[in-house]
Structures are given as C-alpha cells and as structure tokens.
Amino acid sequence: MQKSERLHAIEKILSEKVVTSQEELLNHLEKAGIRCTQATLSRNLRQMGVCRIPDGTGNYRYSMIAGEAECHPSEPRLNFVPVIREIIETKGMMVIKTFPGSAGTAAYYIDNSRKIEIAGTIAGDDTILLIPRDRITLRQVHSCLEMIFPGLHKQLSKTGQKTDKWIENLYKQKTKKK
C-alpha cells in the first residue's frame, strides 16, 4: 500500500463518515483493505492538516478543514489556511484566531517551520499567541506566516478581515511574479 493511496482513503472516509477517534478511523481503513499502525495514521493526519473539531454535542470529530482541495500524492497536504480566521497584532506579538479545535495543529506547523523570526507559540483551543524574537517586526512575521501558509493573507482579505496595505501589496507582488 502506497502512502498516497492511504492518504486518499483517509480523505474519502473523513468526507463520508463522522469519525471520532483514530481507532475508529483505523477500523474504517481496515474495512477498505488498508492496514497501518496508529503512529503512521497519526503522522498522516498531521501531514494532511486534519483537525478535531466540535461536533455540536460536546464531542469532537476529525475533519478535513482544508475543504475541497485535492490531496496531492507527491506531497503532504498542508493547506491549513481556511482554519485561520483572524490575525490581531498586539504589542509586538500576534494573536491568531482559528476555528475551535484547530489552534494546536496550526501552532504545530508554525513551530515546526523553524523560522528564525518566530520564538514560539502558545496554543489554546481556538487561539494562538505567536511570539516573535527580539528586534523582529510584525511585518517580518506576516511574511513568515505567508511562507508557512501560502495564500493566508489572500484568504483573510476574502473573508473580510481588514489587512494592512503592505500585506495587500505583498500578495499583489507574489501574484505578479507568477
């Protein structure tokens, strides 16, 4: 079984069924003829940007928050932009608002990007505190976030979040280069 086939199967199962645990997802995969360990499944879910979100009954379920984007077999899905709802700048730091249950995974991607401009993050259920290193401007941090989550500022401007002019210009410059 190739990894790409497993990723497609996971995506299909999560789009068709309500899955509340990795054990339940492993059972669905096994019924589809796909065997893997829990550790492998956990890594795959993280690579695909799968999140646990509230189901409205006080429980959580796994969700492909990234939406309709296709899973590319040659690379892990890191399309995490749609879960980021807002970025608030405050006294040299950033507060990033996400959908409930998504902050931990988004913070994981930020921390593991190993951007030297970012000292670290603290994540709750739907909020991330991003702390830049000394003498790093928030403009530099915005540029880092755009590299970690390509299309982030475009998505935020589409959803009506007010963005600084320089962010809009950054997006325009990137689209002109392509």
* Residue spans per domain, the chain: 3-63, 81-177
For the domain bounded by 81-177, which CATH number is listed? 3.30.1360.40
Residue 168: per-residue pLDDT? 54
**pLDDT > 90? residue 37:** yes
With 0.85 as the threshold, say if the pTM is over it.
no
* Cα–Cα distances in angstroms (integers) from residue 144 to residues 111, 136, 149, 150, 158, in the given order: 11, 11, 9, 10, 20
3-63 against 81-177: fold identical:
no
Architecture of domain 3-63 in this structure: Orthogonal Bundle (1.10)
Tens of pLDDT, residue by residue over 102-134, are 898 889 889 988 889 999 999 999 999 999 999
**Closest to 143 (Cα-Cα) out of 119, 120, 176, 166:** 166
54 or 49: which carries more pLDDT confidence? 49
**Closest to 143 (Cα-Cα) out of 134, 128, 132:** 132
**pLDDT > 80? residue 166:** no
**Closest to 103 (Cα-Cα) out of 116, 121, 79:** 121
Taking residues 67-85, report their average pLDDT: 50
